[in-house]
Structure 1
Amino acid sequence: MMALSGQQAVLPSAIRFIDRAYIAWGTVAIAYAIAFLQRVSPQTVSLSFMHDFGTDASGVAMLASSYFWGYTLMQIPAGLLVDRYGVKCVVLSSMAASAVGSAAFALAPSLLDVFIARLIVACGDALVFTALLKLVAQSFADERFGIMSGISQVSGYVGGVLATTPLAAAISGFGWRACFVFIACVGVANLAFASVTLRPAAGPQSNKTFKSVLLASCQALGSTANWGVAMSFASHFAVVTTLSGVWGIPMVAHDFNISPSAAGTPLLAFMVGNALGSIFLGHAADRANSLDGALVAICVLRMILIALLLPVFAHALGLFYVGAVFAILGLVAGGTVPFVLKCTKKLYTAELIGVGASINTTTAGIFAGLSQPVIAIAMIAASGLGSDGGHSIRTAASDSGYAALIGILLLMSVPGIIGPLLMRRKLILRS
């Protein structure tokens, strides 16, 4: 009887712990959704942004590039900060930076202020997913790590969905500045809730020091296979984020001469496809015999789908066709991340996966950041906009400009084919 009574006392305590774990996870997942929304919002804001600041495609490129640079600068220290100071400290700091940056962006009077505000937002957002994965590892059993990691990724795609048609509709009704003030307010409310639900770090997070992690990072840079997985992720991230997070809505709006709100529908389909792809192809990644071969096939399929978005095909086949291509592209893009994470774990092992994730994301951020000005220059040149500021405010680019965008995205996809080949041998040895 005493043993049974003890078991009954333990059971409610375990249930309360599990409930709190899910609630705490929910606050960080919301923060990641907001971060993802911030990342892909330039495509939705672009036309209003160009009008208000009297700029052209180069201004939108600056808006996107500033986020990529801030995100990149914080990637290397992200894993170390979480390991050293714990999830709660890092997440609360991240939420605060994101909220302050969102408010500053909404109130920015000049392009320089916009750049600084977006840099602040990005530095905060860069910490969220690493902290979310750490929280999952600490709060849930090993047999639930895979599914909870997948759902965590999906929480980001929810933010991506909100950044398409819903955000475009809100901007049409209230203006982009009011929308980002509201996003900042949501961030502050989530910060307050997280400060209550997240547990403080219990003792030293690990025996790792800043010096040991930096040393491991430097050693990892000497491995060709590790560069292969970094190239695979960088190609995926830069291409998909540029298309879905910067130029997708302006391109669709131009192709069919429709409002940004209506043009957000294909991108909404893309985000839904991302969520489904991350779950179903994530399940397939656990059972794939050849991870490198799968990544090459995924990259080639992604390139074909991107080519099918050329203006000549869009004009001929219509909006439903473009929406279908974006939906399939979303499935492929969503499924890429689990395969990359699987390769990262095999190459770095579980002990150094944080270092691997940091190197992958840093490489991706640098690639994406450097590519944005190049893309803008190519689009402006191909569109023949030149210094005609009035025309460039009304439209980001012409058919030729968006064809140039597609061509550059295809070139940016090439590292996604080379990367898996570089890591093939080491993956075989680790299998």
Structure 2
Amino acid sequence: MSMLGQQAVYAPVSRLADRAYLAWATVAIAYAIAFLQRVSPQSISLSFMHDFNTDAAGVAMLASSYFWGYTLMQIPAGLLVDRYGVKRVVLVSMIASSLGSAAFALAPNLLDVFAARLIVACGDALVFTALLKLVAQSFSDDRFGVMSGISQVSGYVGGVIATTPLAAAVTGFGWRACFLFIACVGLVNLAFAKLALKSDPVPHSNATLKGVIMAARQSLSHAANWGCAMTFASHFAVVTTLSGVWGIPMVAHIFNISPAAAGTPLLAFMIGNALGSIFLGHVADRAAAALDSALIRICVLRMVLIALLLPPVAHALGFVYVTIMFAALGLVAGGTVPLVLKCVKKLYTANLIGVGASVNTTAAGIFAGASQPVIGFAMLAASQASGTDAGHNAAAIGDAGYGALIAILLFMSLPGIAGPLLMRSKLLARQSQL
């Protein structure tokens, strides 16, 4: 083939590759925004309580509304992507997220806040499933693992932005202006996605929502599958509650600093999470023969790190110590997800792995959503009962309140120990079949 002919062949291939990366980038940005939305309450909680004259219960409602919307859409997410294609689902997701974010910024009361966050969450719940399918469609098998990992990290980038940068922006411009800006960024990304994403034909699938629900119900007749759901739900609810709802307010209270300054430990957490996902993921392959033991050990380690954040300990050892603890928690959290995903694949097999993912994420959303009001009321009650923490502000959360938070998180971690024990026999049986 002549040089001119080779150039004619390579040029279209290069353009296709460039478009694939550009399309991936638009959906990855949408996932980063979704992750930012999920963990943003911690950066706006103090301003939010002031503007709506509410307390920890109001912040808990803010967090809970997102978890319920996210949970509502988890089971049909995969089916929607398979039936209607990545482009249609992603565009609808971006519209819901952007409009919901704008409605949240303009909400005049707590009921409107709840509704707006519910809309945002329903849109965000579709993004990562669509992103993984796009990676599978657009990149070869030998690039799938790398691009999937980078896709997960794109979410953590949004989590990083939701810490110190968002807290500083809220201090300077107010939380309403910040979420209007986020809505505008989402709309601009929507316009790029409409151009970059290819329209894919609707596949001929016999799958129905009823069939997915029936498969999910059948899967829960096995104790091992319950154990897997318990393990992931415990991990997700504990980590998200600490890193996405109460982390910055707790650090700000303990050291009497601004939310922007208090975002540094949570920034370290998000960086640790990304590093854990990238560099500790190979541990899941090495631990394939003992996944249950590995999950129990990592859960116990997470509990120890959380316990070491108790207010008296944090007061005594200082801000740098707390930052290191959050960074270590991030590494542990990032390393947990690959272990759980390996369990999902072993327990459900490749044919039902979508059902397994739906069951796990639904259980995690329900656990996280239901626990938020309980945590909020418990923190407020503990602060008021202590007599010294609340001071002149009955809605304030003090050392006793954050001590109650740590105690509840430790209690919520216990399913992460019981779950692997329920999985043990089936995991051993699967391993013996290999």
Task: Report the alpha carbon displacement of residue 168 of structure 1 after superposing the two structures with TM.
Answer: 0.5
| 2:215 equivalent to 1:216 | yes
Partner residue in 1 for 2:399: 399
The answer on whether the counterparts of 2:84 and 2:202 sit within 8 Å (CA) in structure 1 is no
Q: Write out aligned runs for 1:110-189 (5 A).
A: 110-189=109-188
Task: Report the alpha carbon displacement of residue 218 of structure 1 after superposing the two structures with TM.
Answer: 2.1
The answer on whether the counterparts of 2:85 and 2:202 sit within 8 Å (CA) in structure 1 is no
Q: Write out aligned runs for 1:364-383 (5 A).
A: 364-383=364-383
| 2:362 equivalent to 1:362 | yes
- Could you say if the C-alpha distance between residues 106 and 386 of structure 1 is closer, same or farther in structure 2, counting changes exceeding 3 Å? farther
Q: Write out aligned runs for 1:26-425 (5 A).
A: 26-204=25-203, 206-288=205-287, 289-384=289-384, 391-393=393-395, 395=396, 397-425=397-425
Task: Report the alpha carbon displacement of residue 144 of structure 1 after superposing the two structures with TM.
Answer: 2.2
Length-normalised TM-score, structure 1:
0.95
* TM-superposition CA deviations, 1:81-110 (whole Å, max 9, x none): 111111111111000000000000000000
Separation in 2, partners of 1:430, 1:359: 20
Separation in 2, partners of 1:228, 1:20: 42
* TM-superposition CA deviations, 1:159-195 (whole Å, max 9, x none): 0000000000001110000000000000000111101
More deviation, 301-310/221-230: 221-230
Separation in 2, partners of 1:386, 1:366: 31
The answer on whether the counterparts of 2:81 and 2:89 sit within 8 Å (CA) in structure 1 is yes
Residue identity opposite 1:425 in structure 2: S
Give ranges in structure 1 of 5+ residues lacking alignment.
Answer: none
Q: Any idea what SS the aligned residue of 1:109 has?
A: coil
Task: Report the alpha carbon displacement of residue 390 of structure 1 after superposing the two structures with TM.
Answer: 6.6
Separation in 2, partners of 1:12, 1:285: 40
More deviation, 200-209/163-172: 200-209
More deviation, 157-166/278-287: 278-287
Task: Report the alpha carbon displacement of residue 6 of structure 1 after superposing the two structures with TM.
Answer: 6.6
Length-normalised TM-score, structure 2:
0.95
* TM-superposition CA deviations, 1:301-340 (whole Å, max 9, x none): 0000000000010000000000000000000011111111
CA RMSD of aligned residues (A): 1.8
More deviation, 259-268/337-346: 337-346
Separation in 1, partners of 2:343, 2:321: 33
| 2:31 equivalent to 1:22 | no
Give ranges in structure 2 of 5+ residues lacking alignment.
Answer: none
Separation in 2, partners of 1:205, 1:35: 30
Separation in 2, partners of 1:203, 1:309: 50
- Could you say if the C-alpha distance between residues 399 and 205 of structure 1 is closer, same or farther in structure 2, counting changes exceeding 3 Å? farther
- Could you say if the C-alpha distance between residues 221 and 213 of structure 1 is closer, same or farther in structure 2, counting changes exceeding 3 Å? same
The answer on whether the counterparts of 2:384 and 2:394 sit within 8 Å (CA) in structure 1 is no
Separation in 2, partners of 1:139, 1:160: 26
Separation in 1, partners of 2:280, 2:157: 18
Residue identity opposite 1:332 in structure 2: V
Residue identity opposite 2:352 in structure 1: L
More deviation, 303-312/335-344: 335-344
Separation in 2, partners of 1:280, 1:429: 29
Separation in 2, partners of 1:7, 1:349: 43
Task: Report the alpha carbon displacement of residue 145 of structure 1 after superposing the two structures with TM.
Answer: 1.9
Q: Any idea what SS the aligned residue of 2:281 has?
A: helix
Q: Any idea what SS the aligned residue of 1:337 has?
A: helix
Paired residues, number: 428
Residue identity opposite 2:393 in structure 1: H
More deviation, 404-413/274-283: 274-283
Task: Report the alpha carbon displacement of residue 349 of structure 1 after superposing the two structures with TM.
Answer: 2.0
Q: Any idea what SS the aligned residue of 1:202 has?
A: coil
Q: Any idea what SS the aligned residue of 1:290 has?
A: helix
Task: Report the alpha carbon displacement of residue 286 of structure 1 after superposing the two structures with TM.
Answer: 2.4
More deviation, 11-20/251-260: 11-20
Separation in 1, partners of 2:144, 2:222: 28
Task: Report the alpha carbon displacement of residue 207 of structure 1 after superposing the two structures with TM.
Answer: 4.2
Task: Report the alpha carbon displacement of residue 205 of structure 1 after superposing the two structures with TM.
Answer: 5.7
Q: Any idea what SS the aligned residue of 1:204 has?
A: coil
Separation in 2, partners of 1:147, 1:413: 31
Separation in 2, partners of 1:389, 1:321: 27
The answer on whether the counterparts of 1:255 and 1:315 sit within 8 Å (CA) in structure 2 is yes
Residue identity opposite 2:104 in structure 1: F
The answer on whether the counterparts of 1:273 and 1:334 sit within 8 Å (CA) in structure 2 is yes
The answer on whether the counterparts of 2:229 and 2:360 sit within 8 Å (CA) in structure 1 is yes
